[in-house]
Amino acid sequence: MNPLERYAPLVDDEEAFFEACDRPLPSVVRVNGIKTTVERARSALDAGDVGYEATDWHPGILKLDERGPGTTWPYFHGWLHGQEEVSALPALALDPQPGEVIWDACAAPGSKTTQLADLMDDTGTLIGNDNNLGRLSALRHNAERLGVSNLVVTNQDARNYSLKPFGEDTDDPEAIDAFDRALVDAPCSCEGTIRKNPDALDRWTMNHVHSVAGIQKGILRRAVQATREGGTVVYSTCTFAPEENEAVLDHVLGEEDCQMVEWDAPDGFETALGVTEWDGDEYDPSVELAHRVYPHHNDTGGFFCAKLEVTA
């Protein structure tokens, strides 16, 4: 059985959903505002006879006619970064502001991290963490190529993340005791990447779904704990499983001082509501405020994104 068949009751058009999952994913790049403008990047692609089309919902997200953006000089010089279209959503939902302290809990290889730096005008403090030391080299490489200078890289288990290295509970006036905003783009079963990685479901099991859900709950709880009152936490995955999405939110809403926040997906980008019941389980009604992205709606990968506010 195709694991994706279990989600047929959730989608509005089963046939379109499965057909989209079987198609290759378009090649997409994000314009890096730290080094250039959308206009200059487009002009460079035009000069190089690289065909592209701007997405309907974001002028700086470009779909290329051909695959392999890394072969263009604008990419080499950090004007462009290859990033799946739908993965630009979490940073936009988090809405980081220049000068703030931001935590990216699971940062490598750095697409969302460098997008956060761009939105912050490369100011403030952006802490990019990953527990996989090997993947941090990709994060550092991408940050350097894209000209990011406000990034601090750490290698910790996000479930037990410590602010002690940043002077927590000291008299240091520059100490960091809490984050203004945090992004948890959590490790997951990666069902939504099937268009990019056709073998993504080869080793899929329900045991793995439940196992990774436990990790997700721990990371999201720590993000809420480490973010100041009134601060924002965004939770995202590239999977369809409610066990890894709404169930994780439901758990954290019950255990930590936070609440779901309504946010609008960009105009022209279609999403579905979060589900409030699944496989005999009922979730907090507010998880409906989350956004589900199905491949057939925007010709993207599958995704899930939710926004929370820390209340105490």
- Annotation-wise, does 165 bind a ligand? no
- Annotation-wise, does 172 bind a ligand? no
- Annotation-wise, does 109 bind a ligand? yes
Q: Considering the chain, what percentage of its residues have pLDDT values greater than 70?
A: 100
What pLDDT, on the 0 to 100 scale, is given for residue 99? 98
Q: 168 with 285, same domain?
A: yes
Average pLDDT of the chain, as a whole number: 96
Q: 125 with 148, same domain?
A: yes
Q: Is 238 a catalytic residue?
A: yes
Counting the structural domains of the chain, the total is 2
Choice among 21, 188, 190, 238 that is catalytic:
238
- For residue 62, list its beta bridge partners: 29, 54
Q: Is 89 within 8 Å of 293 (Cβ atoms)?
A: yes
Q: 51 with 174, same domain?
A: no
CA separation for the pair 275, 285 (Å, rounded) = 9
What lies within 8 Å, CB to CB, of 119 at 6+ separation is 91, 92, 95, 96
Q: Considering the chain, what percentage of its residues have pLDDT values greater than 90?
A: 94
Residue 133's CB: how many other CB atoms inside 10 A? Answer: 9
What pLDDT, on the 0 to 100 scale, is given for residue 70? 76
Q: 66 with 150, same domain?
A: no
- Annotation-wise, does 47 bind a ligand? no
Domain interval for residue 140 = 3-24+84-310
Q: 36 with 184, same domain?
A: no
- At which of 41, 65, 81 does a domain end? 81
- pTM for the model stands at 0.97
Q: 210 with 284, same domain?
A: yes
What pLDDT, on the 0 to 100 scale, is given for residue 72? 85
pLDDT digits (tens, 9 = 90+) for 261-293: 999 999 999 999 999 999 999 999 999 999 999
Nearest Cα neighbor of 273 from 289, 296, 251 is 289
Nearest Cα neighbor of 4 from 294, 308, 305, 300 is 294
Q: 141 with 36, same domain?
A: no
Q: Which residue has the tokens 């009152």?
A: 229
Q: 63 with 90, same domain?
A: no
- At which of 16, 51, 81 does a domain end? 81
pLDDT digits (tens, 9 = 90+) for 27-74: 999 999 999 999 999 999 999 999 999 999 999 999 999 867 777 899
Q: 15 with 31, same domain?
A: no
Q: 189 with 154, same domain?
A: yes
Q: What is the CATH number of the domain that holds 293?
A: 3.40.50.150
Q: For the chain, what is the total number of helices (H) and then of strands (E)?
A: 9, 15
pLDDT digits (tens, 9 = 90+) for 150-163: 999 999 999 999 99
Q: What is the CATH number of the domain that holds 53?
A: 3.30.70.1170
Q: 129 with 276, same domain?
A: yes
Q: 195 with 173, same domain?
A: yes
Q: Average pLDDT, stretch 3-18?
A: 97
